[in-house]
Amino acid sequence: MIMELDRHGVGLIVSSEGIDTTNSNPGARLQLNVLMAVAEFERSLISERTRAGLKAAKAKGKTLGRPKGSKGLPDVRKNKFRAELEADPESTLKQLARSCSVSIGTASNWRREMA
């Protein structure tokens, strides 16, 4: 990373950490490389912990991810959708979605369910 910055004529100064790569200061470069290695290590640990947590949750039978279907949306919207679709079967998904305040994807799923 530092070599790429050098290649493009870019220097990095972090005054609070005493890092200055604008001149050929080997100590600053070493410190910056160590900090980058520690940051990469931390990212790896976070990723590993996340995967372990997901695996543990799955093992306990927890449902992961976003709920499927119209869960969380009032039945009133779905009933309105059904009524509008029956009144005008030629309505576009965009029209139906807008009038029922749902996404086009939800309108498409509902239309498929009702077909």
pLDDT of residue 98: 93
- Phi, psi torsion values for 65, nearest 5 degrees: 95, -175
Same domain, 54 and 80: no
Dihedral (CA of 100, 105, 110, 115) sign: positive
Same domain flag for 55 and 80: no
Whole-number Å distance between alpha carbons of 63 and 68: 11
Look at strands 13-14 and 19-20 and give their pairing.
antiparallel
Residue 80, burial from CB neighbour count under 10 angstroms (0-12, 13-18, 19+): middle
Domain count, the chain: 2
Per-residue pLDDT of the chain (115 residues; tens, 9 = 90+): 666 776 787 877 788 877 777 766 787 778 778 888 999 999 999 999 999 999 999 999 998 887 666 555 568 888 899 999 999 988 899 999 999 888 999 899 999 988 8
Sign of torsion, CA 65 66 69 74?
Answer: positive
Which tokens hold the place of 110? 């509902």
Predicted structure pTM score: 0.47
Query: What's residue 34's pLDDT?
Result: 85
pLDDT value of residue 52: 97
Q: Is residue 66 situated within a structural domain?
A: no
Is residue 108 domain-resident?
Answer: yes
Residue 104 sits in which domain range?
75-114
